[in-house]
Amino acid sequence: MDRLTKERRSWLMSRVRGKDTAPEMIVRRLLHGLGYRYRLHCRDLPGKPDIVFRSRKKVIFVHGCFWHQHGDPNCKKAHTPRSNTDYWGPKLARNVARDMKVRCQLKAAGWDVLVLWECESGNPEPLVERLTDFLSP
């Protein structure tokens, strides 16, 4: 059973954004501070990657742990809802399947793909290291 009323849950869900999320903005600020320049949400690429480096043929996705079901057992944000499981189970499974399909399409087209998770955005030092390792020639 959901702890929130139907109206309150609907309002909360309407506030969920698809781009310019807080974790994405953290990653973008780090990249900009490191001197990298990039494009955002390119519609001509599968999955509209969050951050695109065309000259390097590299893309970065910044995934929300809940919406994309982060597989790390230590991640506290990647839970599965206990209410309305008939809806949430298939929905979240479709998101994961779509993510895998998009990554395969990009890799088949010659792009390198990095997936960063929402829970990783809170610790900048390892995040900077992952970004520089990924973007180095």
In a domain, 41, yes or no: yes
In a domain, 7, yes or no: no
Q: With 90 as the cut, is the pLDDT of residue 84 above it?
A: no
pLDDT tens digits, one per residue of 8-46: 867 776 767 777 899 999 999 999 999 999 999 999 999
Domain limits for position 44: 18-135
Of 137 and 46, which is predicted with more confidence? 46
The CATH number of the domain holding residue 70 is 3.40.960.10
Number of separate domains in the chain: 1
Residue 14 parent element (H or E):
helix 6-14
**6 pLDDT band (50/70/90 cuts)?**
confident
pLDDT for residue 128 = 96
In a domain, 119, yes or no: yes
The mean pLDDT value for 82-88 works out to 86
pLDDT for residue 7 = 83
**Rounded CA separation 86/16 (Å):** 21
pLDDT for residue 1 = 62
Phi-psi region at 87: left, alpha or beta (left = phi > 0; alpha = psi -120 to 50): alpha
pLDDT for residue 19 = 79
DSSP annotation of 84: S
Q: Are 127 and 27 in contact (CB under 8 A)?
A: yes
pLDDT tens digits, one per residue of 59-73: 999 999 998 999 999
> Quick one: tokens of 42?
């390119």
In a domain, 3, yes or no: no
Mean pLDDT score of the chain: 91
In a domain, 54, yes or no: yes
In a domain, 76, yes or no: yes
In a domain, 12, yes or no: no
Phi-psi region at 35: left, alpha or beta (left = phi > 0; alpha = psi -120 to 50): left
**Rounded CA separation 128/131 (Å):** 5
In a domain, 1, yes or no: no
